[in-house]
Amino acid sequence: MQIKRLELSESEAAVMRCVWNFESVGITGKQIKSLLMHDYDLNYAPNTIYTILDKLEDKGFIRRVKAGKVLEFFPTIPYETYRNDVMQKACDDWFNGDWSAMTDWLSDKVV
């Protein structure tokens, strides 16, 4: 699956990690704020989180569902699909699509 807009900023990626962690049940903005603070030491204002969520929805990464008075967010792209596409792009961009060259290079970097 090719992702429409592959690139995620650092803040978008942090929010997406929270959403992916709750993909089967959904996650609220308040839960995202708490996870960002506790798991990633990021203290974003609620408005900032909702701005990031709007951008992720525009990019096709999430969908929002109204649950009573609360909005819940679900990924539209599975984590594995995103990771595979990112790695394929890196391989294509830096190693001309040669996975052997990429894995050799990575092996040399392992400490």
Ordered structural domains, the chain, with CATH: 8-77 (1.10.10.10), 78-111 (no CATH)
DSSP 3-state of 35: helix
What sections of 41-98 are H helices per DSSP?
Answer: 46-58, 79-95
Q: What is the pLDDT along the chain (111 residues), one digit of tens a residue?
A: 555 556 899 999 999 999 999 999 999 999 999 999 999 999 999 999 999 999 999 999 999 999 999 999 999 999 999 999 999 999 999 999 999 999 999 999 876
- Say what percent of the chain tops pLDDT 90: 86
Give the pLDDT confidence of 16-44 residue by residue, as tens digits: 999 999 999 999 999 999 999 999 999 99
Q: Tell me if 62 sits within 8 A of 73, measured CB to CB.
A: yes
